[in-house]
Structure 1
Amino acid sequence: MLTVRDFGFNEFFFLLTGLWWTIGLSLVAFAGGVPGGLAIALARVANGPLRRYFAKGVIELFQGTPLLMQLFLVYFGLGLLGFELSPWTAAAIAFTLHASAFLGEIWRGCIEAVPKGQTEAATALALSYWTRMRYVILPQAFRISLPATVGFFVQLIKGTSLAAIIGFTELARAGQIISNATWQPLLVYTVVGAIYFALCWPLSRYSKHLESKYALADR
Structure 2
Amino acid sequence: MNGSEFLFLLVGLKWTIFLSAIGFVCGSISGLGIALARTSGIRPLERGTAGYIALFQGTPLLMQLFVVYYGLALVGLKLDAWLSVAIGFTLHASAFLGEIWRGSIEAVPKGQIEAAKALSLGYVSRMRDVILPQAIKISLPATIGFLVQLIKGTSLAAIVGFTELARAGTIVSNQIFKPLLVFGVVGALYFLICWPLSLYGARLERRLAAASH
Which of the five TM-score ranges fits, normalised by the shorter chain? Answer: over 0.9
Q: For 1:107-146, what aligned pairs fall within 5 Å after superposition?
A: 107-146=101-140
* Paired position in structure 1 for 2:53: 59
* Paired position in structure 1 for 2:43: 49
Q: For 1:1-219, what aligned pairs fall within 5 Å after superposition?
A: 7-219=1-213
For structure 2, the 5+ residue unaligned runs are none
Q: Which SS does the other structure have where 2:71 is aligned? A: helix
Tell me, in whole angstroms, the C-alpha distance in 2 between the residues paired with 1:58 and 1:130.
24
Q: Which consecutive aligned stretches of 4+ in structure 1 deviate over 4 angstroms post-superposition?
A: none
Tell me, in whole angstroms, the C-alpha distance in 1 between the residues paired with 2:179 and 2:153.
21
Tell me, in whole angstroms, the C-alpha distance in 1 between the residues paired with 2:68 and 2:130.
38
Tell me, in whole angstroms, the C-alpha distance in 2 between the residues paired with 1:181 and 1:200.
27
Tell me, in whole angstroms, the C-alpha distance in 1 between the residues paired with 2:58 and 2:78.
27
Q: Deviations over 1:164-191 (max 9, x none)?
A: 0100000000000000000000110101
Report how far residue 89 of structure 1 moved: 0.3
Amino acid of the residue matched to residue 60 of structure 1? A
Report how far residue 48 of structure 1 moved: 0.7
Alignment size in residue pairs? 213
Tell me, in whole angstroms, the C-alpha distance in 1 between the residues paired with 2:13 and 2:128.
37
Identity of aligned pairs, percent?
64
Tell me, in whole angstroms, the C-alpha distance in 2 between the residues paired with 1:136 and 1:199.
33
Amino acid of the residue matched to residue 93 of structure 1? I
Tell me, in whole angstroms, the C-alpha distance in 1 between the residues paired with 2:136 and 2:116.
18
For structure 1, the 5+ residue unaligned runs are 1-6
Report how far residue 119 of structure 1 moved: 0.7
Report how far residue 131 of structure 1 moved: 1.2
Q: Which SS does the other structure have where 1:83 is aligned? A: coil
TM-score using structure 2 length: 0.99
Tell me, in whole angstroms, the C-alpha distance in 1 between the residues paired with 2:52 and 2:34.
8
Tell me, in whole angstroms, the C-alpha distance in 2 between the residues paired with 1:37 and 1:175.
32
Q: Which SS does the other structure have where 2:201 is aligned? A: helix
Report how far residue 126 of structure 1 moved: 1.1
Tell me, in whole angstroms, the C-alpha distance in 1 between the residues paired with 2:99 and 2:138.
13
Q: Deviations over 1:134-169 (max 9, x none)?
A: 110001001101111111100000000000010000
* Paired position in structure 2 for 1:3: none
Aligned-residue RMSD, C-alpha: 0.6
